[in-house]
């Protein structure tokens, strides 16, 4: 992990934020939760997985992040220091990272499963607390602290891996790439796109899945998934001028849903076809969707409330939902629950995840960010 100008650029002074992009991140976050719920019934088989390409929401988030970072900060470096930039990013992102780890720790023992998580029952409390504290920093834990046994760099809250790479993207931007001319940024984006295509079409399963483990192969996948979308979004913010597209939220939301819900392309004999699809989705479709979202306006009370709700919900939902997924998946696997019997519980988990995320945002995230902003930036969260 990681919203739009309101969510990823908290202190943009007089600049307005793109409400439609806020809403699109929320739409994608809900699809991520649904993807993970369906994943419990697919037993890891991508050919039977509903909402098959839901994991590409991470790559969509990276495009959004790069675009918003460029819009919010590119023209401010004469008035903003590097330290100020990093403080802004930490204040925006880190409170919910801490909350996600706390929720993950609370749910850890409730996800105990003799089949799925056999190592949990023997985990001492001190080790759980140590992993939680390390998780607060977003530093990946070594394999010796992989208390869940899934090989995750953040075993209490798996999606923390994408926020780790989000921070890497912010570091690269703040330290180096913000200084790139559009020409050199284009070269970087081209080379990163070539690396992405190579990963997608040559991977064993014809996809870009991966990035959450602390080993060379997984770190390469994570960096490859970060580099093109994040900096393509940055380049898009520099070279494009948003147009005027009617019903932009509707059309761009439908495109996000279609791209992420697309069934697996090809068969086990030609998985590279799916790799081509994912390359097209990340390289072409996602920047196009972001451009469409930036080119529209929200009108009407209902549409405004809806996009704001999705935008407010997006980041908290993404970073807090997975502890519930651990518990739900263990329940499905241990009891051999089929989809036709398990879907009511899946709906309950989805509603619960949304409620927890909204409560965390209202009662914790916004107040904490307001306090940090006043304390360190002399500003207030908008």
Highest-pLDDT range among 13-27, 193-207, 365-379:
193-207
pLDDT of residue 252: 97
pLDDT of residue 381: 53
Q: Span 274-282, mean pLDDT?
A: 98
Per-residue pLDDT for 4 more than 80? no
Asked whether the beta carbons of 323 and 38 are under 8 A apart, the reply is no
Q: Span 213-224, mean pLDDT?
A: 96
Flag whether the pTM goes above 0.75.
Answer: yes
Per-residue pLDDT for 1 more than 90? no
Higher pLDDT, residue 301 or 96: 96
**What SS3 state is found at 153?**
coil
What is the rounded average pLDDT for all residues in the chain? Answer: 93
pLDDT of residue 15: 64
- The pLDDT confidence band at residue 138, using thresholds 50, 70 and 90, is very high
In the block, residue with structure tokens 């004469």: 78
In the block, residue with structure tokens 């930039």: 85
CA separation for the pair 192, 228 (Å, rounded): 5
User: What b/e sequence results for 256-288 when a residue is b if at least 16 CB atoms lie within 10 Å of its CB, and e otherwise?
Assistant: beebbebebbeeeeebeebbbbbbebbbebbbe
Domain boundaries, the chain: 5-377
């Amino acid at each position: 992990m990681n919203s739009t100008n309101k969510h990823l650029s908290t202190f943009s002074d007089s600049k307005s934020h793109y409400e439609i992009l806020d809403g699109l991140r929320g739409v994608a976050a809900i699809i991520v939760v649904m993807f993970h719920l369906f994943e419990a019934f697919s037993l890891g088989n991508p050919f039977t997985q509903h909402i098959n390409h839901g994991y590409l929401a991470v790559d969509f988030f990276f495009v959004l992040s790069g675009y918003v970072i460029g819009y919010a900060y590119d023209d401010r470096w004469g008035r903003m220091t590097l330290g100020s930039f990093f403080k802004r990013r930490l204040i925006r992102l880190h409170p919910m990272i801490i909350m996600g780890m706390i929720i993950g720790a609370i749910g850890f023992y409730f996800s105990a499963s003799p089949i799925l998580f056999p190592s949990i029952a023997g985990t001492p409390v001190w080790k759980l607390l140590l992993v939680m504290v390390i998780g607060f920093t977003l530093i990946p834990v070594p394999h010796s602290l992989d208390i869940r046994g899934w090989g995750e760099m953040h075993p209490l809250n798996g999606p923390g891996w994408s926020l780790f790479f989000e921070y890497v993207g912010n570091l690269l931007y703040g330290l180096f790439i913000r200084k790139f001319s559009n020409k050199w940024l284009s070269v970087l984006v081209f080379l990163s796109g070539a690396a992405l295509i190579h990963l997608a079409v040559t991977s064993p399963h014809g996809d870009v899945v991966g990035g959450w483990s602390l080993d060379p192969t997984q770190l390469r996948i994570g960096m490859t998934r970060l580099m093109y979308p994040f900096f393509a979004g940055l380049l898009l913010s520099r070279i494009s001028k948003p147009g005027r597209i009617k019903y932009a939220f509707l059309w761009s939301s439908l495109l996000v849903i279609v791209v992420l819900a697309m069934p697996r392309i090809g068969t086990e004999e030609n998985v590279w076809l799916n790799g081509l699809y994912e390359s097209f989705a990340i390289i072409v479709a996602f920047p196009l969707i972001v451009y469409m979202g930036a080119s529209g306006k929200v009108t009407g009370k209902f549409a405004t409330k809806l996009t704001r709700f999705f935008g407010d919900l997006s980041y908290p939902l993404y970073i807090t939902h997975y502890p519930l997924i651990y518990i739900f998946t263990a329940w499905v696997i241990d009891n051999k629950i089929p989809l036709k019997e398990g879907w009511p519980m899946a709906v309950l988990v989805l509603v619960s995840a949304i409620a927890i995320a909204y409560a965390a945002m209202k009662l914790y995230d916004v107040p904490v960010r307001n306090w940090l902003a006043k304390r360190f930036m002399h500003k207030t969260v908008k």
